Structure 1
Amino acid sequence: MARRSGSNASQRKSSPLGSLDPAERGVVLDRLLIVHPELHGDAERLATDLLVAVSVERVASEVEAALVWISLDALAARSGRMLGRGYVHESEAAWELVNEAIEPFRADLDRRAALGLLDAAANLAVGTVAGVYRVREPEEGTVLAYAGEDTPTDLAEEFLDRAAKLGVALPDDAAESHWPGWSDLW
């Protein structure tokens, strides 16, 4: 048996397909499905498999990181005297930045719910609120702290309301398991 040299990862990177960025891979997939429409069903199944695989823990970690690592430089650039806006208080600018950080998770919830992937949407909602719960007492001097002490609970309530309006039912044990100090939220 012939021995393969190098790892699969290095072989992928040395091929044109392996070197593509995500947008370029999307173009290749689109073109492949035009040339081979018989692959459309397989592509849909693979896409669905990808969308239903939502880890509550992974989402919680991503949300936590998104909220903790908002740059103070970004806050400084958005607050104070702003041309065309007048004076913008740091708490208002911080709230805007926090909302921008959580927006991709809102959009993902909407997308999965619209596709009827309600279990995946539920895991995403639980993970998002769990991630916000992890930063419920933000470190002083962070953008999240500048946004206001009620910001984490406000974000969590808004996310849970959004999930409910989309018809996403959360597991009965979600609050107890993932945000026990906020059992009154849901």
Structure 2
Amino acid sequence: MIKIHYRGCCMNFDYIGSFIRSFRLANNESLQCLADRSGVSRSMIAQIESGQKSPTIVILAKLANAMSISLEDFVKAPTGLNDIKILMPSQDNIVSKKGSVFVCHQLTTRSNSSPADFYQFYFTSHGKTSFSANPVSDTVKYIWVEQGELTLFLSSKKIEVKAGQAIKFKASTPHRFENRQGPLAKGTFFVSYENNIQQ
């Protein structure tokens, strides 16, 4: 069974070495501690982490067992490891109305790989903005206020969200933001479609 997993996976030893090191650091575990638990020598683990040695399947099995993960998950690097993108606000991703005191940039759009829309917003002067009900059921909006104070009107409720605070609510309810006084509000929010990922 081990051989099937081993042969069926494309081995990435750089990934395995960095994974072992990340695992140790996340668990505040020394090389010696992992060596004692796995039965693999300290020097061997260090050389695997640094990419100086490629481990055998027997060594990998011992390490996987000590780390409480399956051998297959251990040796198979996740897809999209290098799929990294810096998200920046720009004139091209503004989705708010032109001339509005509320400026909103859409940084990501829901897709096959992402179950959420992600936005950055700020007020250029005190004012308000309204949102209609999201037509997709079971959507949730998460808002984090970085600066200023945001007043959220949700149905008959009035909620004050201060800098450093976050709030979540059903996006299927019409709502509005207001920033009437104090520092101009800015922050981020995202709309989650967890049960409605596009196929």
The answer to whether the superposition gives a TM-score over 0.5 is: no
* Structure having the larger proportion of residues in strand: 2
TM-score normalized by the length of structure 2: 0.21
Pick 1 or 2: higher relative contact order, CA cutoff 8 A, min separation 6.
1
Larger radius of gyration: 2
TM-score normalised according to structure 1 size: 0.22
